[in-house]
Structure 1
């Protein structure tokens, strides 16, 4: 029996990826127009971005404990070894909800093998970790091997991203109101990264054309074996810029395996339309 891989919707993988690799996905909740939606299931990222462009302010909440309980029980009852790779605990309470339900379900099924891994990753950086784990599962790898290699990928996953409008980061408490207003007026594009699961401002670049070049420079400085590892690009409803970044990566590093996805509702509600994010390993691919 192969190891079952579980992820949450903040990994920003497409439905085809979940289906192709037999990944069980649990949804964060998106609150919009006084309604609650399941991210990736009952609401699309495009709907959220259009609402934000219209001035609406969607909110999100973690995966519910009940959703985890129902999902865990499905595999506990079959005694199928399972690994849940979670969205960064520094950005959501989802990991804590999973740990709570792990304790409850294992009281009923003490022999069931479940591992919960806090990836400290987000968006498609998290998604690449999940995909590697799912590939290993399909190859028949053991639970411990999947946890080991998945954790390695999570530890060494770089996240470099920029946003189109600093206002969305201000709403999320990432920048001050003054910085948001001045930055917008001066057409300053912030570069951010993820450090130990937290979003950290990295640099400020004036002019959008310079941003993609600087992202590639950082990729060159931090990455390893860039021509042979899978690279992730996620975008806030801006496929043209995502494709442009992919072309620049292929031209500069000779990379062929580039995975492009839209930033999903749960993360996009905080980063906003026009976000561009780049993900790669800073160590050898395993």
Structure 2
């Protein structure tokens, strides 16, 4: 009889509580400073990373091989026969291919790799939905066939307070960044779940306008479906709470919570980020 495990990388930004609740295994990305390396969510937290950003902006790297091997071996030791590996978009990271190489040495278990075609908490939503299907007793084939449907129902956006880290990360030119800063742009960045790439949804001037646009996006989705909703905070707890309070009583929201953007994702967006993740109900 098959016993199926779900594995994801730490870019998923799931809380430890959610990881435990759905029995998901997590492999951390590496956070690299000039004089030290850390494992995302294992030896460094997002709050610790944000606190040090003024001194040094670290980089991210592929999962630690030894740690990943330990996770895979522990899954095998627990008697699992099949492993579903949900990863950050292959258009944005080499994590999936890296884990494929690591897993090649384990021939006594079957691996199935899922490109979430997203990143951050939306990736976590894909992992949780896959884990729910496992708990419901669906077959591997049935679960894999349902993944495109999850991606189609999923919407993810972040509102960036400062353009500095997008410029440093090469996601925005210095010229465009300078203009955007002068004009007080607070861009809303979305994820294309068909192509697995980021895109600019809009460039509102000021956070109040940005929140208004995010609310309009949510309302439009709620017109066609009931939804689960997550508000994200990247070192912007007060603003995220304010945004949460503005939307929490909307009709059609079946659950809503505030979640934290992890270190691996927060490095690229910087502090002061508020996000919105929406999952339409499965029809």
Give 1:140's aligned residue. Answer: 137
Gaps of 5+ in 1: none
Matches within 5 A, 1:1-286: 2-32=3-33, 34-52=35-53, 54-76=54-76, 78-106=79-107, 109=108, 112-195=109-192, 196-222=195-221, 225-226=224-225, 228-281=226-279, 284-285=281-282
Q: 4+ residue runs of structure 1 moved beyond 4 angstroms?
A: 222-226
TM-score, normalization: structure 2? 0.90
User: For 1:272 and 1:178, how far apart are their aligned partners in 2?
Assistant: 19
> 2 CA distance for matches of 1:40 and 1:141?
30
**Structure 1 residues 267 and 224: alpha-carbon distance in aligned structure 2, compared to 1, 3 A threshold:** farther
Worse-matched range after superposition: 143-152 or 118-127: 143-152
Q: What value does the CA root-mean-square deviation take over the aligned residues?
A: 2.1
Alignment partners' CA distance in 2, 1:33 and 1:250: 42
Equivalent pairs counted in the alignment come to 279
Change over 3 Å in CA distance of 1:14–1:45 after alignment to 2: same
Task: Give the TM-score of the pair, scaled to structure 1.
Answer: 0.89
Which ranges in structure 2 are unaligned for 5 or more consecutive residues? Answer: none
Aligned-pair CA distance for 1:65: 4.0
